[in-house]
């Protein structure tokens, strides 16, 4: 599965928006409120249409929170119809489908999504009949992915390939589901005296994407804490709960992607992560990651899952810096700006619209203050009255006071004033 184009109408903050996507990697940027998360939610509705024909997968409907609202002074009105149109390739077929909500109490239609529903339903029937068809991975990682765990429904999940779609589009974590599977596989490996291929796939993916990770395993010794463990370079071993937020986030997400690849396409064996295609949505790719990790994330995901189309959001110039041509989508401007092989400062200024990123905010304020200070000094002249001198001195004191803790800067401003007053022969305050 690959998504080529998305059209959103009356969806959240969008009156109408058309977005084209790169077939491999996409990073969506824009200031807060421009619709980065809304775009991913719209994509959830779009790619979730594939689940209409899968019995055990939950598709994403258009919800009340997705309806665009227009405020006419004291009158707030919902806008209809809410439409999500998608153009993409699904199992080598080029399709265009639409989901629509026509009223507040209506249900999301799928009449114009019958083509993708029938396709997935047909695939399900063939797989049930024993045919080996490669299934696309479809999953969404929201910003709550590290902390918000979905409550267990208590239902028994059959060991079917379609388990790879479990909880795929929910903005919640599937960590418990993954840990249960990983523990069972570890126990079975010990019982049968062999390491399962699926475990190898997950371990390899994690070691490729998580810095300093040598191995992961589930501790089964009853005398120790029974949990997922990470072995780091140098021999240090830490339980999952003691890892940094960045390490936990990356480990859980990468392991989950690889885990789903092995469930969906077990016959691909050790190449499940490399050969499985599909669409993975990630909100805030740089979540909890140190800049050194942010610079590696795009490359690591590309080489670990080369057939997957990633559609992500970020605020990090370090992530943007690692992109190739055509992989950046800017929602708040038609012009993207140069970002390939550019410096962090150039990306922050020319792509993300950050004014003068080379300077801190305090340094910028100091510069503006010094500029005003000089302008005020210029107002002093030989004909200036005593009252005007007092007023201008008060203004200069007001400008310099916020930076009184910076002795060198404060002394510099004071010296400039004394030079100017000496030049004009202005008396000190005590003589005025």
Do residues 294 and 319 touch, judged by C-beta distance below 8 A? yes
Q: Which CATH architecture has domain 2-351?
A: 3-Layer(aba) Sandwich (3.40)
Q: Is the predicted pLDDT of residue 377 greater than 90, yes or no?
A: no
pLDDT at position 336 over 80: yes
Which pLDDT belongs to residue 423?
73
How far apart CA 314 and CA 351 sit, in angstroms, is: 13
Q: Please spell the DSSP secondary structure of 121-170, one letter per residue.
A: HHHHHHHHTT---PPPEEEEE-TTTTT-BPPP--PPPPS-GGGGGTTTTS
- 79-83, 126-130, 192-196, 211-215 — which is least confidently predicted? 192-196
Instruction: Please state whether 353 falls in left (phi above 0), alpha (psi between -120 and 50) or beta.
Output: left
Cβ atoms 280, 137 nearer than 8 A: yes
CA distance 227 to 182: 10
Give residue 336's Cα distance to chain centre. 18
- pLDDT given at position 361: 65
Instruction: Identify whether the C-beta of residue 222 lies closer than 8 Å to the C-beta of residue 228.
Output: no
Q: Which residue has the higher pLDDT, 366 or 105?
A: 105
Q: What one-character-per-residue DSSP string does 27-41 give?
A: EEE-STTSSHHHHHH
H or E element in which residue 227 lies: none
Question: Where exactly are the structural domains of the chain?
Answer: 2-351, 361-431
Pick 173 or 341 by higher pLDDT: 341
What is the tens place of the pLDDT at every residue in 170-229?
Answer: 876 667 888 888 999 999 998 888 888 999 999 999 999 998 899 999 999 888 888 999
Q: How far apart are CA 101 and CA 81, in angstroms?
A: 6
Residue 5, strand partner residues = 20, 87
Dihedral angle sign, alpha carbons of residues 155, 160, 165, 171: positive
Q: State mean pLDDT over 349-359.
A: 81
Compute the distance between CA of residue 5 and CA of residue 39 in angstroms, rounded to an integer.
Answer: 12
pTM of the model: 0.85
Mean pLDDT, the chain, rounded, equals 88
Per-residue model confidence as pLDDT tens digits over 224-281: 888 999 999 999 999 999 999 889 889 999 999 999 999 999 999 999 999 999 999 9
Span between the terminal Cα atoms of the chain, in Å? 82
């Amino acid at each position: 599965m690959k998504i080529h184009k998305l059209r959103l109408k009356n969806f959240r903050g969008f009156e109408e928006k058309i977005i084209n996507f790169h077939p491999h990697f996409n990073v969506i940027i824009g200031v807060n409120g421009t619709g980065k998360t809304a775009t991913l939610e719209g994509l959830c509705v779009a790619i979730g249409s594939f689940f209409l024909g899968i019995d055990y997968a939950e598709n994403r409907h258009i919800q009340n929170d997705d309806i665009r609202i227009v405020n006419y002074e004291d009158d707030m009105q919902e806008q209809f119809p809410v439409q999500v149109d998608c153009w993409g390739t699904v199992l080598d077929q080029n399709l265009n489908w639409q989901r629509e909500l026509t009223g507040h109490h209506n249900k999301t239609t799928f009449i114009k999504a019958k083509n993708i529903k029938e396709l997935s339903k047909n695939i399900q029937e063939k797989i049930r009949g024993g045919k080996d068809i490669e299934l696309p991975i479809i999953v969404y990682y929201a910003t709550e992915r590290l902390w918000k765990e979905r409550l267990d429904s208590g239902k028994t999940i059959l060991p079917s390939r379609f388990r790879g779609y479990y909880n795929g589009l929910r903005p919640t974590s599937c960590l418990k589901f993954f840990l249960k599977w990983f523990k069972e596989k570890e126990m079975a490996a010990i019982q049968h005296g062999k390491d399962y291929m699926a475990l190898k796939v997950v371990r390899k993916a994690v070691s490729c994407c998580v810095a300093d990770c040598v191995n992961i395993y589930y501790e089964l010794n009853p005398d120790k804490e029974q949990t997922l463990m990470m072995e780091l370079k140098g021999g240090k071993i830490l339980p999952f709960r003691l890892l940094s937020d960045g390490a936990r986030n990356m480990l859980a997400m990468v392991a989950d992607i690889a885990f789903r690849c092995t469930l969906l396409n077990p016959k691909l064996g050790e190449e499940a992560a490399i050969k499985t295609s599909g669409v993975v949505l990630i909100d805030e790719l740089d979540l909890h990651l140190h800049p050194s990790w942010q610079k590696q994330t795009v490359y690591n995901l590309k080489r670990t899952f080369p057939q997957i189309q990633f559609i992500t959001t970020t605020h990090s110039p370090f992530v943007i810096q690692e992109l190739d041509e055509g992989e950046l989508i800017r929602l708040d401007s038609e012009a993207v700006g140069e970002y390939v092989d550019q410096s962090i400062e150039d990306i922050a200024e020319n792509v993300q619209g950050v004014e003068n990123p080379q300077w801190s905010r305090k340094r910028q304020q100091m510069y503006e203050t010094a500029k005003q200070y000089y302008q005020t000094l210029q107002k002093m002249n030989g004909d200036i009255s005593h009252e005007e001198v007092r007023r201008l001195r008060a203004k200069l004191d007001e400008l310099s006071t916020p930076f009184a803790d910076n002795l060198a800067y404060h002394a510099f401003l004071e010296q400039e004033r004394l030079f100017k007053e000496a030049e004009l022969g202005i008396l000190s305050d005590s003589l005025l």
